[in-house]
Amino acid sequence: MLINYKKHKLLVVVILLLCVTFYIFYISWNGSQRGFTFAMLDVGQGDALFIESPTGTQILFDAGPNGKVLEELTHVMPFYDKSIDAVFITNPDADHIGGLDDILKNYTVGKIFESGTQNDSKTYERIKEEIKNQNIPDVLAKKGMSLDLGGGVVLDILFPDRDVSTWERNDGSIVARLSYGNTSFMLTGDATKETEKIILKENLSIYLRSTFLKAGHHGSHTSSSLEFLKAVSPKYSLISVGEKNKYGHPHKETLDILSFVKSKIFRTDESGTIVIKSDGQNDTFSFFK
C-alpha cells in the first residue's frame, strides 16, 4: 500500500515537472516568435492602440472609453502577461482615458506619458490620483523625444513642441511616428488640422511619410487635411470608430480625401480589432470582430 502511494506521488511530481517545463518552453518560444505587433483595438467610439516590439516592449496609446479595452487586449497579449511598459494619454478626454482605470487595476504600468492638456473631469482626476498612488512616473511628451522600444522599433514624438496646458485638448494631442524597418505608422490622436499645419511647418515631408496613418479624431473632418495626407502618403489608413456613432464619424469629407490620396481604409466599426504583424519588410493583417 505504501509502495503504491509513493509511486502515485512520484507520478504526480513527474507530471508537474513536465507541465512546468512545457510552460517555460512555451513562454520562451512565444517570446522568440513575437516579431513586431501593432493593433488598433475595437473599443467603440474611442482610441486604444497596442504596440509590441520584437524584444517584448509593450506600449498602449490611449485606453478607450471603458473597460472593453481589457477584452480586446486578450487578442494581442497572453493571459499571464500583466504588465505594460508605458501608456500614452494622447489627450485626457473620456474616449481616450475611460478604460485606463481598468488598465491600472489589472496591469502593472511602468510609465505614463501625457500631452499636458488639462481636463477637470472626475474620471481624469481619479486616474491622476491612481497614477500618483502607484508611484508611476508621469512624463510630458515633447517633440524631439525618441524612444528605442528594442529590436529596431523607434517611436519619435512630433508634437507637442511647446506648452499646451491652456490649449483645446484635441489641438494639443500627442502626435508620434513609429518605425520598424520599412514599416511606419503616423499616430495622430485627435490632432486637428491646426496641429497638422504646425507639424508640416516643422518637418520635411520625407520625415513624415508613413506606411500607415492612424486617422485623426476618428475620421472627423476637423483632422486629416489634404496637405498633411499628401505629406504622410499612407498606403493604409486606420480609423477607430464606434458603430452608428452620434458624431457621424468617419465624415465623408475625410473618407473622400483618403481615397483621393489612394490610401486603403480599415475601420474598427467594420473590421473589429485590427492587428498588423511585420518583419520590417512585409506586413500581415488579422481581424477580431
- Per-residue pLDDT of 95-125, as tens digits, reads 999 999 999 999 999 999 999 999 999 999 9
d(CA 39, CA 278): 11
Q: Is 98 exposed, middle or buried (0-12, 13-18, 19+ CB in 10 A)?
A: buried
Residue 173 banded pLDDT, cuts 50, 70, 90: very high
Per-residue pLDDT at 17 exceeds 60: no
- Per-residue pLDDT of 130-171, as tens digits, reads 999 999 999 999 999 999 999 999 999 999 999 999 999 999
Determine what percent of the chain is predicted with pLDDT higher than 90.
88
Residue type at 119? N
Residue 9 banded pLDDT, cuts 50, 70, 90: low
- Per-residue pLDDT of 269-281, as tens digits, reads 999 999 999 999 9
Spacing of C-alpha 96 from chain mean position: 11
**Dihedral, 245, 251, 256, 261 alpha carbons, nearest 10:** -90
pLDDT at 136: 98
pLDDT, mean of residues 51-66: 98
Q: Helix, strand or coil for residue 265?
A: strand
Average pLDDT value over all residues in the chain? 92
Per-residue pLDDT at 29 exceeds 50: no
pLDDT at 8: 57
Per-residue pLDDT at 218 exceeds 80: yes
The CATH code belonging to domain 36-288 is 3.60.15.10
- Write down the pTM of the prediction: 0.89
pLDDT, mean of residues 234-244: 97
